[in-house]
């Protein structure tokens, strides 16, 4: 089976061209190829497939986390799907329409001197902010309400990890804001994101019972209304260098909490993304690079 290793600002996946290759068990394959010691290494597996019958799209994307769980969307991953489709001759459509678990998304791209995709802008669609649709299940919050600047005290009561001294050292604001971009995200703000023990706090919040589909966890440091730094724990993958849907959710959360503007530059460990939550159509737009690292052949 031929594969392509690609990344979007360090959020790396093993990609398979499903127009040419057949994968009988993508869940099992994801766990094997994503292993950074015994496999190719990556945050998971992404399949680039023909659209389902009746769907008006150029290609379809299916993504599997490193633990084999399937996720609805990946913002960095979809930029690489666009690059693979264009550079490997599947589709030259621009804009390109890609079917995802979030629906069909529209992407526009620019090419570099050799005609290959360099930068991609993704229309991430409208954010989902109603608690019941994120989903977040907190007793006193109705499903049709927003979880914005909600006190972390209920979580602190249940998790000793949130009561340790790191919270003060990092200047943690003890409130959460939740947004879905087709997959669920929780944002926490702090004054020093580098001091957050992600490996300790990430899995605690990811698997909290109030998040019935688990959740992606982001700690955000605001430098100015137009600039933030963020660090991420992704459900099913752990600490990652970047999360495109997460950066989009951070953009929305910044507006909802009046911490940042509708257009921001987000610094992630793997690189930068530009996000804009446009008032005109209510959609979030994400712009960033897509990079092919190497191609190879997986046995079997």
Q: Clarify whether 74 is annotated catalytic.
A: yes
What is the rounded CA–CA span in Å between residue 71 and residue 61? Answer: 10
Q: Which residue in the list 80, 178, 243, 251 is annotated as catalytic? A: 243
Check if the beta carbon of residue 80 is closer than 8 Å to that of residue 15: yes
What is the rounded CA–CA span in Å between residue 233 and residue 193? Answer: 12
* DSSP annotation string for 7-40: EETTEEEEEEETTT---S-HHHHHHHHT-TTTSS
Q: Clarify whether 243 is annotated catalytic.
A: yes
* DSSP annotation string for 244-294: HHHHHHHHHHHHHTTSS-SEEEEEETTEEEEEEE-TTT--EEEEEE-EEEE
- Tokens 């605001």, residue located: 222
Q: Which residue in the list 74, 82, 178, 251 is annotated as catalytic? A: 74
Spatial CA neighbour of 126 closest among 220, 249, 26, 7: 249
What is the rounded CA–CA span in Å between residue 145 and residue 216? Answer: 20
Phi first, then psi, for residue 192 (nearest 5°) are -145, 90
What is the rounded CA–CA span in Å between residue 265 and residue 111? Answer: 22
Enumerate the active-site residues: 74, 243
């Amino acid at each position: 089976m031929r594969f392509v290793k690609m990344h979007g600002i360090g959020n790396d996946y093993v990609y398979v061209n499903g127009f040419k290759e057949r994968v009988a068990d993508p869940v099992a394959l994801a766990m094997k190829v994503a292993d950074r010691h015994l496999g190719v290494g990556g945050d998971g597996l992404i399949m680039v497939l023909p659209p389902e019958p009746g769907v008006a799209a150029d290609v379809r994307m299916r993504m599997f986390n490193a633990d084999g769980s399937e996720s609805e969307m990946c913002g960095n991953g979809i930029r690489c799907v666009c690059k693979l489709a264009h550079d490997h001759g599947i589709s030259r459509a621009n804009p390109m329409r890609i079917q995802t678990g979030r629906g069909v998304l529209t992407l526009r791209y620019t090419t570099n001197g050799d005609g290959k995709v360099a930068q991609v802008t993704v229309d991430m669609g409208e954010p989902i902010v109603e608690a019941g649709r994120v989903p977040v299940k907190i007793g006193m919050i109705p499903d049709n309400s927003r979880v914005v600047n909600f006190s972390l005290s209920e979580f602190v009561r249940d998790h000793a990890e949130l009561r340790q001294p790191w919270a003060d050292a990092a200047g943690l604001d003890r409130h959460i804001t939740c947004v879905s971009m087709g997959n669920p995200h929780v944002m926490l703000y702090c004054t020093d994101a580098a001091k957050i023990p992600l490996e300790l706090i990430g899995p605690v919040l990811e698997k909290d019972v109030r998040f019935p589909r688990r959740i992606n966890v982001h700690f955000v440091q605001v430098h100015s209304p137009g600039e933030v730094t963020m660090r991420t724990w992704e459900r099913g993958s752990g600490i990652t260098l970047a999360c495109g849907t997460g950066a989009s959710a951070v953009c929305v959360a910044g507006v909802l909490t009046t911490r940042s503007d509708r257009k921001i530059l987000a610094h992630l460990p793997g690189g930068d993304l530009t996000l804009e939550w446009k008032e005109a159509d209510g959609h979030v737009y994400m712009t960033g690079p897509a990079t092919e690292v190497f191609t190879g052949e997986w046995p079997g």
